[in-house]
């Protein structure tokens, strides 16, 4: 059983690479915390979701949930999570805390991340997770953007320490860290 974190920028090839790591598995649980695709409300997001769905083998089981820890605990096969950044965004959305001081809801973030990490470490099968590498550009002028970058960095660091391999995707090329 391996734990692999695949990180990189937007359209760097993270998802395709992560999927390739499990291509030979007879069963995979594909966990996606993304918002459901609604072509009428957001055609671009729906197209992205559709392209991911088309690439997946038909024998992979898809679980759409923001509760990554519960989905991971329930999985009885190798798991692909795509993506941790979406999970973080949806979690903050669900808590309704974007505009509140972080210290007021730090416990929600800490508890969710700790729960995910504990479940991650106990999972008896391979886990491959896609995440976003943020913070290589300008510092956001918006508090929510700065907060997201900070929390994404903390999340990636913690998950990275619980992995056998961390892969940085750059221009479609994997760099093992």
**Tokens 């519960």 label which residue?**
70
- The sheet that has 127-130: what strands, in order across it? 61-64, 29-32, 79-82, 127-130, 3-8, 165-170, 173-176
In the set 50, 52, 59, 125, the catalytic residue is 52
Using DSSP's 3-state secondary structure scheme, residue 150 falls into helix
Q: Do 140 and 149 touch, CB atoms closer than 8 A?
A: yes
Q: Where are the beta strands (DSSP E) in the chain?
A: 3-8, 29-32, 61-64, 79-82, 127-130, 165-170, 173-176
Query: HSE of 72 in the Cβ direction (CA atoms, 13 Å)?
Result: 25
Q: Which residues contact 21 (CB under 8 A, 6 or more apart)?
A: 4, 6, 126, 128
Please indicate whether residue 52 is annotated as part of the active site.
Answer: yes
130 within 8 A of 88, measured Cβ to Cβ: no
Residues with Cβ within 8 Å of residue 23, at least 6 apart in sequence: 57
Task: List residues with catalytic annotation.
Answer: 52
């Amino acid at each position: 059983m391996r734990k692999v974190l695949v990180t990189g920028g937007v359209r760097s090839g993270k998802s395709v690479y992560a999927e390739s790591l499990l291509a030979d598995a007879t069963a995979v649980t594909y966990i996606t915390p993304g918002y459901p695709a609604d072509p009428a409300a957001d055609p671009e997001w729906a197209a992205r979701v559709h392209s991911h769905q088309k690439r997946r083998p038909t024998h992979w089981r898809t679980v759409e949930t923001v509760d990554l820890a519960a989905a991971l605990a329930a999985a009885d096969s190798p798991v692909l999570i795509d993506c941790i950044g979406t999970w973080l965004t949806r979690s903050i959305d669900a808590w309704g805390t974007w505009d509140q001081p972080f210290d007021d809801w730090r416990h929600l973030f800490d508890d969710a991340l700790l729960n995910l990490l504990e479940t991650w470490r106990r999972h008896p099968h391979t886990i491959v997770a896609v995440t976003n590498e943020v913070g290589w550009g300008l510092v956001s002028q918006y508090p929510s953007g700065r907060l997201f970058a900070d929390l994404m960095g903390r999340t990636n660091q913690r998950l990275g320490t619980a992995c056998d391999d961390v892969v940085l995707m750059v221009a479609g090329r994997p760099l093992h860290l």
